[in-house]
Amino acid sequence: MGLIAREIERAGIPTVTISVVREASVRTPAPRNVFVPFRLGQVFGEPGAVAQQRAVLIDALGALLRLSTPGEILDLPYRWKRTVYRDPLGPA
- Note the pLDDT tens digit of each residue in 10-29: 999 999 999 999 999 999 89
The answer to whether residue 7 sits within a structural domain is yes
The answer to whether residue 81 sits within a structural domain is no
Sequence-ordered list of residues with C-beta below 8 angstroms from that of 62, at least 6 positions apart, any chain: none
Number of domains making up the chain: 1
The answer to whether residue 30 sits within a structural domain is yes
The answer to whether residue 46 sits within a structural domain is yes
pLDDT in tens, the chain (92 residues): 888 999 999 999 999 999 999 999 999 899 999 999 999 999 999 999 889 999 999 999 999 999 999 999 999 999 887 778 888 777 65
The answer to whether residue 58 sits within a structural domain is yes
The answer to whether residue 9 sits within a structural domain is yes
Structural domain harbouring 6:
2-75
Residue 70's closest CA among 23, 25, 37, 39?
25
pTM of the model: 0.84
The answer to whether residue 8 sits within a structural domain is yes
